[in-house]
Amino acid sequence: MIARLLVVLAALAGIAALVLPLGAYRSPDGKLATRASALRIIAERPPDPTPLAQGAHDLGLSKADADRLAHAVDQGTAAYRGLLIGVFVPATLLVLLAFVVLARRQMGRTAGALAIVLGLASLAAFVVLLLLVGDLDVKDTAVTLKLEATSGAGVYCLAAAGLLAALGGAAAVRHVEF
């Protein structure tokens, strides 16, 4: 019973991690620059890089350099989205495991072992997100931008999901019942 409850709570924490902000980026004067959830970053269509290339060309870059810059930004955005999708795979699988456990009304050792693995993977994803949401420095000869980043609630919900899943899995493997 307690193992199922912990896995269901882990699944809910995983869902919360997906929809809550991952971080807040503030400019040096303290104003909020941006804040977005993983779901928003993954689901939104990436912006068209053409205006960026045109703006860079207007600032004096050659057409080829402006296009390369826009392409690099587009590729970086796609890589970031791909990383976020990969980070949230264990949390998504935890939701599926919670549905299976609730439908079967029991949690065996196999499901417990799977919950431990998914919990540890979620904790590893938490560490990746902590490293990812760091200071963002963009330095160029024409532009210097310093944004201070703080981890949001979504990052810590992912850690809670991992911890709850690992504890629920351990309880299922050891047949701990209350």
Spell out the SS3 assignment of 66-120: HHHHHHHHHHHHHHHHHHHHHHCHHHHHHHHHHHHHHHHCCCCHHHHHHHHHHHH
pLDDT at 177: 55
> pTM of whole model > 0.85?
no
pLDDT at 30: 65
**Consecutive 10-residue averages of pLDDT for the chain (178 residues):** 89 90 69 71 75 76 78 77 85 92 88 94 87 53 50 85 93 75
Q: What is the phi/psi pair of residue 107, to 5°?
A: -135, 110
| CA 174/CA 91 separation, integer angstroms | 23
CB 159 within 8 A of CB 133: no
Q: Where are the domains of the chain?
A: 2-173
